[in-house]
Structure 1
C-alpha cells in the first residue's frame, strides 16, 4: 500500500470520528494481538512509522512539515519570523526565549517518541506474522525500514535533547504512572542509532519501483549513518561510509553504486516534477490535492499571501523574514553568479519597467527594491492552496553526502584531493569557481558557508550551528547568533533543548538539561 494513501485513510477516519457520535460495540474492536496477522498488516505497521515524514496539510505540525522550520530555522542566523507570525510560541523560540513548557518543545519530544513507538511495534510484530504472502525477503525489508526510521528519530532526539530514554520495544498495557525510565547517555543513544542504521543498510534494497518509490533504501541508511559519524566527529568512519554511497574517488558523475547524482540544475531538486529523482536519497513525501498530504512549508516560504522573506524592510515582510534591513540575511551571502541564488532557493521578480517588485500570486505590487522570497517548496501547480504543495522535503540528498564527505576528509587529513573533489562537485553545479590551494581552516570556513547556502530551508542550519567549530575548536553557535542580534544566546545551555516539563512530571526519573 502506498504510504501516502495509508495516511489519507487514517486522517479520514479521524475526521469522521470527530464529526459523529457512534454507538460502539467494545467487542467489535480489534486488539493488537488479533491485528498483526497478514501481509497487509505488516506493511501498514511500517507505514505508520513514516508518519513524522508524511503527515501534511495546513493544520498539521510535524517535524518535517513546519515544526523544524518554525523552530530551529527561526532560532538560527538565517531566518526570523516577521510581523505576520503572531504565534507567541514561535516568536519566543525564535529569540531563544523558549522554555520547558513551550508547545513546540513538547511536540518535538512527543512526536519523535510516537514515531519510535510505531517503529518498535513493527520491529516486534512483523517477525511474528505467519502469512504465506509475507515472504522472508519482504519481512526483512519491512523490519529494515522500521529500524532506519527509529534510528532517524533517535538521531533527531539526541541532537535536540542530548541523552534520552532508549525504548526499543513496544510496551502494551504499561500505564504512564508505571513508565518510569531514566535518560540514557548520549554515547549509548548513538550506539543504538549506529546499530539500527547498520542493520537497516543490510536489510534494505537499493531502490524501489511503482508505489514503493520514496521508501527507505540501503543508500539512505548508509548516507544517514555517515552523517551520524560526522556529527560525532568520527571523521574516518564518516568518509568511509560516504564513499560507499558516492563510489570511489574522484566521485565523478555516475560513480555512485546506487546511481545517485546531482541534478544538472539546482532548481530541479525541489520541483515536484523531479521528486524522488537521482539526487533524492531520502525525503519526506508530500502530495497535492489530497487530504492532509501537502507540504505546509510552501506558504511560509514561497511567493504567496504570506511571503517568505529573508532579511528586508519591515513594511514589506509578512511571515519569514529577518525583520530589518541590517543584514539582508543569507541572500547577500551568495556570490552574484551563484545559480542557487535565483534558481531554486529564492525568487525575485519584476514585471514591466515601473521599478516595482511583484511577488504574490496575484502579481500585486510591493513598492521598493527587489526582495528575495524563499521559494524551495513552492509548487507551480498549486496556485489556489499552497498548503497542499507536492514538493518533498529532503531528509538527506546527494549534495549533502558530498559535503559531508568533504568536511570529514578535511578534518581527518586536511584539504586533500578527496576533499576538493567532493566539495567542488557541489560548487561546480552552482556555477562557482572550483577551489584549490586552501589550508585546513580556510577549507573548513568555505565549506561551512557553501553548506549553509546549499541546504538553506532544509532543516539543517540549527543542527549545523550546534555542531560546527571554528579553527580554535569553539562551537560557532554563539558567535553566529550574536552577529544577527540574538544576544541572549548562552552556551552550553542553548546547545540543547529543555526536556518538556510535562514529561518530567510524568516520568520523575527524567533529569532536566543544564540551565533550563
Structure 2
C-alpha cells in the first residue's frame, strides 16, 4: 500500500478534481468529466487510493494529528521550540480560528467528498464480464470508501458533535446543498454504523502483498465495534469485537512491542500480526521522491510523491525536540504490583515508550544498532523524552523529516482492551475480561505480572483505564478515552496543575469549536452555533 499512497500524492488529485459538469456553450470534447473518467478499473482504483491519500493531508497523520491529540490528551507537553498554533493546543488556549481545528475538519470532509465520488461512480460502472476480477474489485472499492467515509465521520462526530451529513456525490450542488445543516449526533452514528456494516460485507479478510495496507474486513469490524463502544452500546460492541478473536481472522499480539513502530518490521506479518489498520508512510530517501518538507502543506502539490511522517523529527530529542513526554505519563508506568500490591512495579512497556533513567523504567541507551555502538541517554540534561515512533536505535539523529514508520490507527491490543471494557461496562468483571487484559500484559517482550482478579466494576474500570494508558501512550488514544469516559476535565486539570500550575480545560472543551472557515462558508451552520464555540 505504500506504493499506492505514494503514487496518489501526485496523481490522485487529478482523479478527483474533475467531475463537475458545467453548462458551457463551448465544450472541450477532450476534457474528462465525472461521467467519462471513472469508466475503468484502473481509474476507479486511482480514485480509491486518492481517498486514502487524504489521511496524510494537512490536519491529519503526516503531522498535525499526533501533535493535536498527544498534546490535548496530555501524553505530550510543549518544549521551548514549540510555538504558535501548536502551543495554543498545548495550553488549551484556542478558538474557532485555530489552524488545526480547521485543518482537521477540512481534511476529514475531503476524505468524505472523495469517498462519495468513488461510491457514486463505482455503482454505475459496468465491469467487463470477460474480466471476473472487475466485479470483485467494484465491490471492494465501494466497501473501502465506505470504511474511509465512516472513519472520517467517526472522527467528526467525536470531535465536533453535530456536523453536516454529506452522504452522496452531487454533480451540481445547489445553495441548499452547500449550506447543509448540522445533523443530530444519533443520525451521524447511524450512518457510520451502516457504512461499516456494508464495508464489513464487501471487504476481503486479507490482500496480496502488493495491496498491503488497504482497509480489510477486520478493519471494518474493529471500527464498528469501537463505534458501538463509544455509543455505549456495550453488548453490540462485545459481539462485534469478539469476531476479531475468531476465524477467519488471525490477529495476535506482536511478540516484540517495538516492532509495531519499526520500519520495516511493522510490515512483516510474522513480526507484526497485530496491526488491523494503519496509515502507511514511505521513508523519504532523496529529493527524487518529493519534497522532504511536504508535511507543511505540500500534499499533492509541491510535495511531489513524498508520503513520509515527520513525527520522529518533531518529537526526537536529538532533532527538533518540539515536545516532551509528560511526567504524568512517565509516572503512570509505576504502580502497585498486581500480585503484591504493597510493592511498586515498573511496567516493561516504559522502555518501549520513552527515554529516561533506570528508576523510571525508561530506555537508558540509544544508537544500539549504530556502527559506533550504544550511547548512554543523557537523562541529566534531557529529562524524559519520546522513544515510541523514534528510531534512534539505528541512527544518532535524523537530519530532517523522513520517517517511514506507519501510524497505528487500530491494533489488536486496542481491540482486546475495548472488548474487555465492553464486558466490564455490563457489570461482568469475571474470567473473560480478566483474561483479555492479562493477554495484553502477556506479550512476550512485556511479560508483566498478571492480575488474579479485577475486583468490583469500579476497580475493574480503573485497571482497564490504566492498561489503555500504558499500552497506547503516544498513539492519540488517551484524549478520546478521557472524553468518552467523562473524566477529561478533572483528569487533565489535575495533571497539568501538578506539572505547570494551570487548569486550562473548560467545560466547552469536551468538543472542538466549529471552525471559523466553516461558519463563513455555511450559513446554516453559522446560525446553529452556541457561544461562538459549538
Q: TM-score, normalised by structure 1?
A: 0.84
CA deviation map 1:313-371 (0-9, x unaligned):
xxxxxx1126xxxx7231121135422111x2223489xxxxx9889999798572673
Change (3 A) 1:506 1:266: same
Cα distance in 2 for partners of 1:320, 1:237 equals: 38
Structure 1 residue 490: deviation in Å? Answer: 1.6
Where in structure 1 are there 5+ consecutive unaligned residues? 15-24, 248-255, 308-318, 351-355, 469-474
CA deviation map 1:99-138 (0-9, x unaligned):
1111111101111000000000110001222342462111
CA deviation map 1:242-298 (0-9, x unaligned):
111113xxxxxxxx5311000112111111122243100000000102432111211
CA deviation map 1:223-244 (0-9, x unaligned):
1111001111111111111111
Contact kept in structure 2, 1:120 and 1:170, CA below 8 Å: yes
Q: 1:300 aligned to 314, 328, 349, which one? A: 314
Change (3 A) 1:460 1:240: same
Q: Which moved more, 1:73-82 or 1:176-185?
A: 176-185
**SS of match in other structure, 1:264:** coil
Report whether the alignment pairs 1:453 with 2:470.
Answer: yes
Change (3 A) 1:377 1:29: farther
Map of 1:368 onto structure 2 = 380
Report whether the alignment pairs 1:435 with 2:451.
Answer: yes
Q: Which moved more, 1:425-434 or 1:378-387?
A: 378-387
**SS of match in other structure, 1:267:** helix
Structure 1 residue 300: deviation in Å? Answer: 2.1
CA deviation map 1:55-113 (0-9, x unaligned):
3xxxx634222222221221222211111112x11111221111111111110111100
Where in structure 2 are there 5+ consecutive unaligned residues? 16-26, 291-305, 335-344, 359-363
CA deviation map 1:21-75 (0-9, x unaligned):
xxxx96654222221111101111111110233x3xxxx6342222222212212
Q: 1:78 aligned to 75, 80, 101, which one? A: 75
Aligned pairs (5 A) from 1:52-451: 52-53=54-55, 55=56, 61-86=58-83, 88-132=84-128, 133=131, 135-174=134-173, 179-247=178-246, 257-276=248-267, 277-289=272-284, 290-291=289-290, 292-307=306-321, 319-321=322-324, 328-335=327-334, 337-342=346-351, 344-348=352-356, 366=378, 368=380, 371-379=383-391, 384-429=398-443, 430-437=446-453, 438-451=455-468
**SS of match in other structure, 1:188:** helix
Cα distance in 1 for partners of 2:9, 2:158 equals: 31
Q: 1:506 aligned to 521, 531, 534, which one? A: 521
Change (3 A) 1:452 1:268: same
Contact kept in structure 1, 2:389 and 2:405, CA below 8 Å: yes
Report whether the alignment pairs 1:497 with 2:517.
Answer: no
Give RMSD over aligned pairs.
2.8
Contact kept in structure 1, 2:62 and 2:307, CA below 8 Å: no
Change (3 A) 1:406 1:365: closer
Contact kept in structure 2, 1:112 and 1:154, CA below 8 Å: yes
Map of 2:488 onto structure 1 = 477
Cα distance in 1 for partners of 2:13, 2:484 equals: 41
Cα distance in 2 for partners of 1:420, 1:258 equals: 22
Contact kept in structure 2, 1:77 and 1:480, CA below 8 Å: no
Cα distance in 1 for partners of 2:119, 2:13 equals: 26
CA deviation map 1:176-212 (0-9, x unaligned):
7861111111100000000001110010110011210
Q: Which moved more, 1:291-300 or 1:225-234?
A: 291-300
Contact kept in structure 2, 1:177 and 1:506, CA below 8 Å: no
Map of 2:484 onto structure 1 = 467
Map of 2:503 onto structure 1 = 487
**SS of match in other structure, 2:121:** helix
Contact kept in structure 2, 1:286 and 1:392, CA below 8 Å: yes
**SS of match in other structure, 1:394:** strand
